[in-house]
Structure 1
Amino acid sequence: MPLVTLSDVLIPAKSDGYAVAGLVTLGWEDMRAYVAAAEAENCPVILQAGPSCRAHTPLPILGKMFRHLAEAASVPVVAHLDHGYTFDECREALDSGFTSLMFDGSRKPLAENIAETRAIVDMAHAAGISCEGEIGFVGYDNGEASAGTNPAEAAQFAAETGVDAMAVSVGNVHLQTDQSGGLDEDRIAAIQAVTDVPLVIHGGSGVPAAQRRTLATQTNICKFNIGTELRQAFGNALRDAVNSDPERFDRVQILQDTHDPVVAATRTVLRTMRANT
C-alpha cells in the first residue's frame, strides 16, 4: 500500500471516533516494528521523523525507508516530519517523499507563527500533501515549561493557516516517562468549541491510557504522538538482549531481539486509541 497523507487518516478518525498514533522513530528497527504492530491491529500508523532522528539519519534516507515500509504494508502509512523548524527543512522533507509536514512555530509570536505556518501549508497543499501546525507551546518534562493554548488564538490560527491538524498544549509535555499526569479536558472542550480542525496531542506517552481512549473516542483529538513510551520498550529490550549473553557482539543479532517486544508494546499503545480494544 503506498504512503498516504495525514488528512487521509485523520478525516476518517475524526468521523468515526478514534485516534491514530504518531509514532516517533529513531531507526530501522523501531519503524519496522511499528508497521508490523499496525498490521497486526489492522489500523493506520504515522511514522514520524523528529529532530533527534533527523540528526542521526538524513531526511532523504528516512523518506526512502518510510516509503519502502509503506509499499509492503497492508495498512495505510503516513510519512510525517515532526517538529520541522524552518521552511527549508520542510521543503527537504517534501522533496524526500514525506506525505505530511509538521511545522513548529509555537515558540514564536502568534502573527509570526501564523504567517510562517501558512507558507508551509501552501507549499504542502500545492504538492498534494498535509500540514500540521502548533499553537501554544508543549514543554518538556523537567525542562522548558509549557504555555497553554488559548482557545481564541487556536481558532484564529486554524482559520488563517489552513492547517490539516493542530497540535495544542493542554497539560501535555514531551519526554514524560510515566503516566502520572493528565490533560485539561475543559481547555480541550473550549478549543473544540471554536474549531473543527483535527487536534493533536504531543507528549502522548504521559497521558494515562484510559484518558487517551476517552479523548480519542469522544473529542476531536485524532492523533496522539507517542515517543518516550516506546523508546523505553526498545531500550529495555536492547538491554535484555545485550545482557543475555556477554559473548554476543553481532549488532544484527542483538537488534533482532528487540523486534517482538517493541511490536507487543506498540500494539498495546495502538489499542488505547480505539473503543473496546
Structure 2
Amino acid sequence: MTLVTLAEVLQPALKQGHAVAGLVTLGWEDMRAYVAAAEAEGVPVILQAGPSCRAHTPLPILGKMYRHLAEGASVPVVAHLDHGYTFEECREALDAGFTSLMFDGSRKPLQQNIDETAAIAEMAHAAGISCEGEIGFVGYAGGENSAGTDPDEAAQFATETGVDAMAISVGNVHLQEDKEGGLDEPRIRAIEAVTDVPLVIHGGSGVPMAQRTSLARTSSICKFNIGTELRMAFGAALREAVNADPARFDRVGILKETHDPLVTATRRVLSAFKGE
C-alpha cells in the first residue's frame, strides 16, 4: 500500500527541487487514469476531492476509492480533501480515510482564518495526517475576484496555524481555461522569504507550462492543483467517443475510451513538475 500524507510528498519536493500535482477528481475514470499516469512517470500523485466531486459522490465512498487505488499503486498516493469549508466536513474526511485535509478559510477575516485552520491542523496532526490552509483568496474565472496574499500575513498564518502546506494567491485563478496569464513571481519570492512552509498554487491550469516547471525547480511552490486542464481533456475524449457512433449507449464502453487520452494528457502535466 502506498497511501501517504501530504507532508510525506511535499517535504522531499521542497528539498529536492520539484513539485507534486494535486489532481482534481470527479469520478472513477479520472482518478484511475491519474494513478496510471503517475506510475508511468514514476512520481507521487495527490488525488483531490473538491466540492463538486463531493456533491456527486459521498466522502466515505471517495475515501474507499482513493485507498483502493493506493493499495495497488507503485507510487505514493495522497488522499486529499480540497476546499473543506467546515470543521465537520474535515472531520468526515478524516474518518473516511483521507490522509490530508485542506481547510479553506480564505474568505474569512485573518484571525478567524488562523484560528479555524489551526484547529483543523491540530485535529489532522493528532490523527497522523496532514493539513493545508489558504491565506489570501484565489478567485474564479468569470466569478469572484482574487485578493493577493500579503507576505506578512502569510508568515503569521504559517507560524500560528502549523499547517503542512500553504495555498497562496499570486495571480492564479480557479477554472481558468487558457494559459495566457502567469504568476506574480516577486510576490512569491517575498512570501517564501518569510516562511519555510511548502507553498501551493490553486488554479494551476492557468499557469504557463514553462513557468510551472521553473517554479517547481526554483521556488518553495511544491504543489500545483490541476483540474480544468484535465477536465477539458476528459471532455474532449468523451465527446469523441460518443460522436463516433450515435447508436452507442453502453456507458462502460464509451468511458473506457477516455482512459488512454486522459493518461496521455496527465503525463504531460506530471512531467512538467519533475526536478532536473
Global fold match (TM > 0.5): yes
Q: Tell me what 1:86 maps to.
A: 86
Q: What is the distance in 1 between the residues matched to 2:229 and 2:181?
A: 14
Q: Displacement of 1:118 after TM fit?
A: 0.3
Q: How does 1:1-277 map to 2 (within 5 A)?
A: 1-276=1-276
Q: What is the distance in 1 between the residues matched to 2:275 and 2:108?
A: 37
**Which secondary structure state, in structure 2, belongs to the residue aligned with residue 142 of structure 1?**
coil
Q: Displacement of 1:3 after TM fit?
A: 0.8
Q: What is the distance in 2 between the residues matched to 1:143 and 1:58?
A: 26
Q: Displacement of 1:274 after TM fit?
A: 1.6
**Which secondary structure state, in structure 2, belongs to the residue aligned with residue 139 of structure 1?**
coil
Letter in 1 for 2:56: H
Q: Displacement of 1:142 after TM fit?
A: 1.2
Q: Deviations for 1:45-83, whole angstroms, at most 9, x for unmatched residues?
A: 000000000000000000000000000000000000000
**Which secondary structure state, in structure 2, belongs to the residue aligned with residue 133 of structure 1?**
strand
Structure 1: tracts of 5 or more residues without a match: none
**Which secondary structure state, in structure 2, belongs to the residue aligned with residue 245 of structure 1?**
coil
Letter in 1 for 2:40: A
**Which secondary structure state, in structure 2, belongs to the residue aligned with residue 82 of structure 1?**
strand
Q: What is the distance in 1 between the residues matched to 2:147 and 2:271?
A: 30
Contact 2:2 2:75 in 1 (8 A): no
Contact 2:16 2:275 in 1 (8 A): no
Q: Percent identity between the aligned chains?
A: 79
Q: What is the distance in 1 between the residues matched to 2:64 and 2:275?
A: 33
Q: Displacement of 1:206 after TM fit?
A: 0.1
Q: Deviations for 1:237-272, whole angstroms, at most 9, x for unmatched residues?
A: 000000001111000000000000000000000011
Q: Displacement of 1:2 after TM fit?
A: 3.0
Q: What is the distance in 1 between the residues matched to 2:121 and 2:13?
A: 21
Query: TM-score with structure 1 length normalisation?
Result: 0.99
Q: What is the distance in 2 between the residues matched to 1:145 and 1:188?
A: 19
Contact 2:49 2:80 in 1 (8 A): yes
Q: What is the distance in 1 between the residues matched to 2:107 and 2:86?
A: 13
Q: Displacement of 1:275 after TM fit?
A: 3.7
Q: What is the distance in 1 between the residues matched to 2:261 and 2:185?
A: 32
Structure 2: tracts of 5 or more residues without a match: none
**Which secondary structure state, in structure 1, belongs to the residue aligned with residue 3 of structure 2?**
coil
Q: What is the distance in 2 between the residues matched to 1:108 and 1:68?
A: 35
Letter in 1 for 2:199: L
Q: How many residues align?
A: 276
**Which secondary structure state, in structure 2, belongs to the residue aligned with residue 232 of structure 1?**
helix
Q: What is the distance in 2 between the residues matched to 1:216 and 1:246?
A: 44
Letter in 1 for 2:166: M
Q: Deviations for 1:150-176, whole angstroms, at most 9, x for unmatched residues?
A: 000000000000000000000000000
**Which secondary structure state, in structure 2, belongs to the residue aligned with residue 167 of structure 1?**
strand
Letter in 2 for 1:206: G
Contact 2:9 2:44 in 1 (8 A): yes
Q: CA RMSD in A?
A: 0.5
- Segments of 4+ moved more than 3 angstroms: none
